[in-house]
Structure 1
């Protein structure tokens, strides 16, 4: 029987992000060490099959490895360190969170749901322990992904089973909060989804707070508690991360990338980009293109 790491390796045909036959699942492979640097994490659950990665957020360090899993209830700009070698590459599976699916599972749980006090705990990011039950479900899902037929017939049901296991696991309060329309976490999630589609525009904190029916002061406080950034800082990090992708992935000119993500001044963009990534956009772009 192949291990979870071996099954992930079968699906990781190239370095970086690998698509699978299920749109909600991707496999990531890294064969070299990457020092601590900015990374914008998407909403989802990450399972490591081999190696380890560290997330630096605010003053906390989260290391995820084959013993645990990382849940991102909302998209979070953080810093990441990849502990990998050619002999032992990092292999991990990324599963997108479907909030409607979470809500459906929680409704089916009925009286087995945790009491309200339990569901008040809300985090944008947390680590969970990988139990034998979670590992077995994970292994069966990866096994199904090996062949198109099994993936087509069993894939979605196995993702639902995996989400059920996570909801029933210790520390799942944030997943309950995310699925609740009235929780602070779900309100911030709505604001973040708005930012994701409007980040190029001028977005005011008051506009976001009105969108989720919070006062500006409460919104600002809760937003920072969940994302470790103020709303303005968050928007800036999203813009810079998207510009980084445009410079490297699409090889845009610096002025074009700056305008694309909403900067009116290329000078300001270059200054903030260098402060965030450690290199100016032009230097960083040249370095990456030469790799």
Structure 2
């Protein structure tokens, strides 16, 4: 019932396709009725909960489909291909997109660790991937409903928004995607920290040694743990982040030269070669055949 109530609220708020602010920082509601095939995108740390329809994200060739049965938690910036291939006027995609604030998430991870006992280093073993899917549970569903209900009253939003958003964050940490989030925002977040550094310096020459230094690891150890967390080698990841960001900028109207320089390329010819190798079109062709998606 709670899920249907969330859908009804989004239906009332969004008569047309779009991504709209809820009035709560970092929380947006969306509606999509157009089928859009997967195209390059960059997922920032976020949570996406869908109450109608389905969405697809492709990471390193592997498809992740999430819908009203499973929500998506992205705990680190990740280069993906994303789309809404099943959306239609008869089957609209409706949901909530929530940015994960680093400061608040870190505070919550530490608080939950303290409540459970002394903080311990994470157990050895493979790192969870940066993208995790989790089944909706009652605690998460109820927390999300209480958050979304606020959008119908600006006064309630202003007074209660921050607290109810924090409750949704806590529900995420308690759910099936919690381990991935805890590793990104709490103890053992070295890989997430290196990705955050890269995301803030896409226009600079960032080497693998720079990223390993941010993580406090040797190059060999960093390479192994990075691939566990992202499924990609650091070199693949850096290139994908740069090209995906450039593709999104070009689709939004940025010139090819500007897009290349924006993500750290000093040679537009090299950028064009690598872009065409990745996407099968030159950057200029891409700009004429793609437009920005309502929802990345």
Q: When the two structures are superposed, what TM-score results if normalisation uses the length of structure 2?
A: 0.86
Residue among 176, 180, 205 paired with 2:186: 180
Equivalences for residues 1-291 of structure 1 within 5 A: 3-12=5-14, 14-58=16-60, 60-82=62-84, 83-109=86-112, 110-112=114-116, 122-181=128-187, 183=188, 186-249=189-252, 251-288=253-290
Give the whole-Å Cα distance in 2 for the aligned partners of 1:282 and 1:28.
Answer: 30
Query: Per the alignment, do residues 171 and 58 of structure 1 end up closer, same or farther by CA in structure 2, a change over 3 Å counting?
Result: same
- Give the conservation status (yes or no) of the 8 Å contact 1:11–1:20: no
Give the whole-Å Cα distance in 2 for the aligned partners of 1:13 and 1:261.
Answer: 36
Give 3-state SS (helix, strand or coil) of 1:126's partner.
Answer: strand
- Give the conservation status (yes or no) of the 8 Å contact 2:128–2:229: yes
Query: Per the alignment, do residues 280 and 28 of structure 1 end up closer, same or farther by CA in structure 2, a change over 3 Å counting?
Result: farther
Give the whole-Å Cα distance in 2 for the aligned partners of 1:172 and 1:126.
Answer: 9
Deviations 1:176-217 (A, max 9, x none): 222324x1xx11111111111111111111111112210001
Structure 1 gap ranges (5+): none
- Give the conservation status (yes or no) of the 8 Å contact 1:72–1:125: yes
Residue-pair matches, total: 287
Give the whole-Å Cα distance in 2 for the aligned partners of 1:166 and 1:207.
Answer: 31
- Give the conservation status (yes or no) of the 8 Å contact 2:248–2:292: no
Q: Which deviates the most, 163-172 or 195-204?
A: 163-172
Deviations 1:137-175 (A, max 9, x none): 211111102222111111111111111222222452222
Query: Per the alignment, do residues 50 and 119 of structure 1 end up closer, same or farther by CA in structure 2, a change over 3 Å counting?
Result: farther
How far 1:56 sits from its partner (Å)?
Answer: 2.3
Query: Per the alignment, do residues 241 and 15 of structure 1 end up closer, same or farther by CA in structure 2, a change over 3 Å counting?
Result: farther
Deviations 1:115-140 (A, max 9, x none): 86679653311111111222122111
Give the whole-Å Cα distance in 1 for the aligned partners of 2:275 and 2:175.
Answer: 40
Give the whole-Å Cα distance in 2 for the aligned partners of 1:119 and 1:242.
Answer: 33
RMSD over aligned CA atoms reads 2.6
Q: When the two structures are superposed, what TM-score results if normalisation uses the length of structure 1?
A: 0.88
Query: Per the alignment, do residues 117 and 188 of structure 1 end up closer, same or farther by CA in structure 2, a change over 3 Å counting?
Result: closer
- Give the conservation status (yes or no) of the 8 Å contact 1:46–1:93: yes
Higher relative contact order (CA 8 A, sep 6+): 2
- Give the conservation status (yes or no) of the 8 Å contact 2:46–2:74: yes
